[in-house]
Chain A
Amino acid sequence: MAILSRRQFIKLGMIGVGSLMVGFRITNKVYAAASNIIKSLSDYMKERLQGIYKRDASMEIRCSQDNPMIKYAYKKFFITPMSPVSEDVLHTSYIDRSCVVKKLESEGIFSREQFNNIPIKYPCE
């Protein structure tokens, strides 16, 4: 079924074309040709999502507040949402990691401008 393995592909690159520039062209074509496959990728993604909603619709309990083991957990241990014990066990805090970015920016490894120009769409759409 596999028409060409990766190894064969590289080999092909060697035999058929050889130069770096043509290598680039191959690259773009791989991508362009991939886009009609990528289209069906979103169909597969939809199938996964449909599986989830089908299951949800078939479940006896649909809401978190109706889950008997959730009620039990609050009764036995957590008291109420955001009670001191809930805060202690179930909540957290975050770290500012932006210093890494600043450092990489000063070293020329990261550019905020490039970051801001990343297209927002994904190819699988």
Chain B
Amino acid sequence: MIECEGVNYLGIIPSGKETNPADIFFVQVDKTKCIECGTCSEYCPTTAIRPSNGNDGPREVVHPGLCINCGQCLIHCPAGAIYETVSYIDEIFDAINNPNKYTVAVPAPAIRYALSECFGYSPGTCTYGKMVTALRELGFDKVWDNQFTADLTIMEEGTELLKRITGEIDRPLPQFTSCCPAWIKYVETFYPELLPHISSCKSPIGMAAAAARVYGAKEAGINPNQMYFVSIMPCIAKKFEGLRPEIVGIDATITTRELAYMLKSKKIDFQKLPESKTDPIMGVSSGAGTIFAATGGVTEAALRFLYWKISGEKKEKINFKVVRGLKGIKEATIKLPKKIKTINGETDTIKVAVASGVRYARVLCDQVKKGTSPYHFIEVMACPGGCVCGGGEPILPGVREAVEMTLKRWYGGLKKRIKDTQEV
């Protein structure tokens, strides 16, 4: 067990593609630490985490099939009782030290906004340049950017949406986003009838891993067989995704917390690092790529593309502020620059919805099932707030202190007694 930024890791390295990720508990409860407060269940979207003895007792994740690996229970547990099982840290250090391996780091958009918290910055501080330098200092041979593939995702997913709307491809509306692997597992498990609605696009990191071997490697002059591809994510579910047989080329996935641990273990003085940039071939990105980290970001990025595309590649509209913010379900009717043909005649508007947290998606899924969904496009991020508040991000201030504060309030008078009796 190692501790990264207050979260414990068992350090299991699933070996190879024979492993079925659906059989792995990616999060589990340390029953000796659980104070039975029930906060985890208040966040769990699937009832996977429950009391171990019927109605009471320490909590446990009952079956990996029910858990979508969102990690919301873990980042909100006030006692720090929930741990991750899978960690590739050791293997990554080995790969970095292996001269026959060409290590590639690909950080998600959300890493640069939260890694900073592990090094004394306030939440939301963007440390893109330092993050890139830090990855090079760790010894990665190449640093590409998942924001580049977020842009690529928009090109593909936006085009797919337009083709669904115009009837050029025979796939149903609304189109759901596909970049969140917890959401995907949720649909696969609880709403399989809605799978045709999910965009066929891989997530940005799925695209990055495949493109790195067949495109990036060639352009950058790397032998793709030597490549060791590390996905750095704000997310536990991405570890599941990296092991899916449909997704090729991801050798290891780590969270923001594990990256912070790796940097600290190498005594890298993050605050003092100079800034640098990701390697260009798969490292240049747009604002549309960076807002993938926020709830509503994929929608806004897609709208920036669609608006331009529908205008005949002439006009651009950048800000679609209606889809921003922490509201559970955000809806908007977007006026298009031109009319477009659809299967049911012409339209000059499209309707979008954004679920910030997969619990809200249940409402939207039930509408689609009933055939009453008015939307063309629905974004779902399993984590409330989106990936920047993901299950693999640093624990926010206040979460762990909750326990201590309560005790201060309720047992202030007993403090002395405890002091007298504790051994430490």
A84 nearest CB across to chain B (Å): 13
**Which residues 252-289 in B have Cβ within 8 Å of A in the complex?**
280-289
Inter-chain pairs besides A16-B411, A53-B291, 18 sampled, C-beta below 8 Å: A4-B411, A6-B79, A16-B414, A33-B402, A44-B398, A47-B124, A53-B324, A62-B304, A65-B308, A65-B309, A70-B151, A91-B156, A91-B202, A97-B192, A100-B189, A110-B47, A119-B359, A125-B328
Q: Which of A49, A90, A97 touches B202 (beta carbons < 8 Å)?
A: A90
- Inter-subunit contact B38/A89 (CB<8 Å): no
Is the pair B286, A109 in contact by a Cβ cutoff of 8 Å?
Answer: no
Question: Please, how many angstroms separate the alpha-carbon atoms of A4 and B206 in the complex?
Answer: 44
Chain A residues positioned under 8 Å from B405 (CB to CB): 3, 33-34, 37
Determine which of A50, A67, A111 lies in contact with B285 in the assembled complex, contact meaning CB atoms within 8 Å: A67
Which of chain A's residues 1-58 have a Cβ closer than 8 Å to chain B? 2-4, 6-12, 15-16, 20, 23-24, 26-27, 29-31, 33-34, 37-38, 40-42, 44-57
User: Interface of B with A (CB < 8 Å)?
Assistant: 22, 33, 35-39, 42-47, 56, 62-63, 65-66, 72, 76, 78-80, 109, 113-114, 122-126, 128, 148, 150-156, 158-160, 163, 178, 184-185, 187-190, 192, 195, 198, 200-202, 206-207, 210-211, 214-215, 219, 246-247, 280-291, 293-295, 297, 301, 304-305, 308-309, 313, 316, 318, 324-326, 328, 357, 359-360, 362-363, 384-386, 388-389, 396-399, 401-411, 414-415, 417-418, 421-422, 424
Provide 23 A-B residue pairs closer than 8 Å at the C-beta atoms, listed in order of the A residue.
A11-B422, A12-B411, A12-B414, A16-B411, A27-B37, A29-B406, A30-B37, A33-B409, A33-B410, A47-B122, A48-B114, A52-B109, A52-B297, A54-B126, A61-B284, A62-B304, A81-B160, A82-B156, A82-B159, A86-B156, A90-B152, A90-B211, A97-B188
A41's partner among B150, B318, B396, B403 (CB-CB below 8 A) is B396
Contact, CB under 8 Å: B421 / A11 = yes
Residues A52 and B35 in contact in the complex (CB < 8 Å), given A62-B288, A95-B188: no
Q: How large is the interface on A (under 10, 10 to 19, 20 to 34, 35 or more residues)?
A: 35 or more
Assess the A11–B418 pair: CB atoms within 8 A.
yes
A114 within 8 A of B: yes
Complex CA–CA separation, A80 to B43 (angstroms): 41
Complex CA distance for A27 and B66, rounded to whole angstroms: 25
Contact between A77 and B215, CB atoms less than 8 A apart: yes
Question: With A30-B37, A92-B247 given, is the CB distance from A69 to B282 under 8 Å?
Answer: yes
Q: Within the complex, which residue of A9, A67, A68, A73 is in contact with B403, where a contact is CB–CB below 8 Å?
A: A9
Closest 10 CB pairs of A and B: A51-B124, A100-B65, A81-B159, A64-B151, A56-B287, A34-B402, A64-B154, A69-B284, A62-B287, A33-B406
What's the nearest-Cβ distance from chain A to residue B127, in Å? Answer: 10
- Chain B residues whose CB sits within 8 angstroms of the CB of A109 once the complex forms: 62-63, 66
Within A66-125, which residues are at the interface with B (CB < 8 Å)?
A: 66-70, 73-74, 76-78, 80-82, 86-87, 89-98, 100-101, 104, 109-111, 114-116, 118-125
- CA A11 – CA B318 in complex, angstroms? 56
Contacts of A11 in B (CB 8 A): 418, 421-422
Q: How far, in angstroms, from A115 to B305 measured CA to CA in the complex?
A: 36
Tell me if B's interface is mostly helix, strand, loop or mixed.
helix
Bound: A51/B126 CA distance, A = 6
B197 CB to nearest A CB, Å: 11
In contact, B124 and A69 (Cβ under 8 angstroms):
no
- The answer to whether residues A64 and B288 also contact, given A45-B326, A69-B280 and a CB cut-off of 8 A, is yes
Q: How far is the CB of B227 from chain A (nearest CB, A)?
A: 15
Which partner residue on chain B sits nearest A4 by CB separation? B407
CB <8 Å contact, A64 and B39: no
Interface core residue of A64, A82, A116 (most chain B CB under 10 Å): A64
